[in-house]
Amino acid sequence: MKKIYLDHAATTPLDKKVLDEMMPYFSQKFGNPSSIHQFGQEAMEAVDKARQQVADFLGCSSSEIIFTSGATESNNMTIKGVIKASNVKNPHIITSAIEHPCILNSCKEAEKEGSEVAYLGVDKDGIIDLEDIEKAIKENTILISIMYANNEVGTIEPIAEIGKLLKKINSEREENKLPKIYFQTDAVQAINYLDCDVDNLGVDLLSLSGHKIYGPKGVGVLYVKQGTKIKAIQDGGEQENNLRAGTHNVPGIVGLGKAISLISENRSRIKEIKKLRDYFIDEVLKNITDARLNGSKEFRLPHNINFSFKGIEGESLLMMLDADGIAVSTGSACSSASLKPSHVLTAMKISPEIAHASIRFTLGKDTTKEDIDYTLKVLKEKIKKLREISGM
């Protein structure tokens, strides 16, 4: 059976060059980087190299890179660590209603412990309004966390514009002796495709994950701008500038460093991926009735396609496509077991019925036109079959 993987927003296959770089650190180069003997120093050199590779990509100092187990930990560290370091009574956080569950659930936990959180809405395309952010700021606001690009619908948020706005606001706050508002972005979905220079974005914290960039699972990064007030959220050793205790995952870190160094090479295919995305969207709209594209067509990740098909149930369509060798998603991989409609689509004012009929296709660097044509053919057949069953 033909197998086509169109779920790259959930995870990406490990690049062969990345695997080759990692392999020695599973066996002969097994030292603990915290050890001072030659085995440990060999491992530490590899960690330092990876740290510099990430720093070069983000345009920052290597001392501002903290290795974590993934973006979920990085995002938890941001919300909880910034609150922990704050001297503000009832600290206030601003985020959006379409964030990843690790941000939303961290904020909910923070609320239980006395913090205030503003969950800002988005427009019909999933884009946040800068005026809403400015209006939501209070004297006790300490953090704004807005994702760079949405994992479900691919909408790109105006992060650089928010960064410019906050620079101006923080200048005024400094004059009035109010606490600085830190700005964080979850850049997990953006890393492969968008400008992630932290100075250009104007962010103080940025999170990313290895397995979304053709690297290994179980490793991620939190960029922490020098001077940012943040405390560790777990106790242990002094690793990662005393912010992230625990023995380094050396093979994973080496793999992440190699993967991020290959992004510029992989970006050579962005135009081709975008062309395939637009071809897919146009073909669906032309050949399948009652199909709704979710998210912005203009401000959208090059590889993301999210459709709702009237009269079908997303999970049923996913299973039928899978039976024919096509792997897709009904939304965020972290929410795939939930029977609730997508919180992202709900925030975009999409009805539960249409939200339940959504399917996400996310292309990768090795996706071909043949893959897309086969998927379109099968998709049309399965939707027709499901609609006949439902009596539509």
**Residues forming the active site:** 334
To which residue do tokens 């490990």 refer? 14
Which long-range contacts does 233-241 make (Cβ < 8 Å, 24+ apart)?
A: 233/76, 233/77, 233/80, 233/81, 233/84, 237/34, 239/34, 240/66, 240/67, 241/63, 241/66
How far apart CA 194 and CA 182 sit, in angstroms, is: 22
Distance of CA 67 to the CA centre of its chain: 16
261, two tokens: 């160094």
How far apart CA 128 and CA 162 sit, in angstroms, is: 10
Helices (H), the chain: 16-22, 38-58, 71-85, 101-112, 130-136, 159-175, 198-201, 239-242, 250-261, 263-266, 270-287, 314-323, 343-347, 352-355, 369-390
223, two tokens: 């960029």
Backbone angles phi, psi at 242, to 5 degrees: 65, 20
Q: CB–CB of 103/256 below 8 Å? A: no
Contacts (Cβ under 8 Å, ≥6 apart) of 389: none
293, two tokens: 């594209």
How far apart CA 250 and CA 264 sit, in angstroms, is: 23
Backbone angles phi, psi at 23, to 5 degrees: -50, -45
Sign of CA dihedral 256, 257, 259, 260: positive
How far apart CA 157 and CA 347 sit, in angstroms, is: 15
How far apart CA 48 and CA 35 sit, in angstroms, is: 14
59, two tokens: 């345009």
